[in-house]
Amino acid sequence: MKRKLVPMDRSHLPQVLAIERACFSKPWSEQTFADELYNDAVSLVVAEGEDGAVLGYGEVSVVLDEGCLEKIAVAEDSRRQGVAEEILGAFLRFGEAHLAFLTLEVRASNAPAIALYEKMGFETVGRRKNYYADLHEDAILMTVEFDRIGTV
């Protein structure tokens, strides 16, 4: 299936919110996403299928030369098809050009996500105990550092 990455806009929000509710125990509201669309320190992208359907989305926030992967989610019927890897790859290319590092937090039990992050060059750098309090679950902190010469 052909797909493309595009900047998220308001027209994507209904589909993004459906994916958000399916993927997260504390989903963001429509207002939160709408506010992020106009935040200059944030990059929101969606992966669209040939028919314009949102297959997945991601968000990175940036402060100076530090990036944080805030969100990445893929519709259930589009998982294991490289969507998350494509979104993450775009953020890593941005990081190589502009950041010192990119960091993230992931549920300790989310083995598929952790495997993807490791495949893409992230390393575990810490653990936040009971970070996901509603789930009574730790967060694994992962980071990829950029050498600023164009390689991860």
Paired tokens of 18: 């459906």
CA distance 116 to 57: 15
- pLDDT at residue number 148: 59
Per-chain mean pLDDT for the chain: 92
> How many whole angstroms from its chain centre is CA 9?
16
Active site residue 117: yes
Active site residue 57: no
Among 20, 36, 48, 105, the active-site one is 105
The pTM of the whole model exceeds 0.85? yes
The mean per-residue pLDDT over the stretch 6-15 comes to: 95
Please state the φ and ψ torsions of residue 122, each to the nearest 5 degrees: -75, 145
The mean per-residue pLDDT over the stretch 29-57 comes to: 94
CA distance 63 to 76: 31
Measured over the CA atoms of residue 91, residue 74, residue 126 and residue 130, the dihedral's sign is positive
Instruction: Specify the CATH class of 3-145 in words.
Output: alpha beta
Query: Strand pairing of 137-145 and 3-7?
Result: unpaired
Q: Tell me if 59 sits within 8 A of 70, measured CB to CB.
A: yes
Plot region of 9 (φ>0 → left; ψ -120 to 50 → alpha; else → beta): beta
pLDDT in tens, 68-124: 999 999 999 999 999 999 999 999 999 999 999 999 999 999 999 999 999 999 999
Q: Tell me if 96 sits within 8 A of 151, measured CB to CB.
A: yes
Q: Tell me if 3 sits within 8 A of 50, measured CB to CB.
A: yes
Q: Tell me if 83 sits within 8 A of 56, measured CB to CB.
A: yes
Among 36, 57, 117, 132, the active-site one is 117
Which is nearest to 140 in space by CA: 131, 148, 149?
131
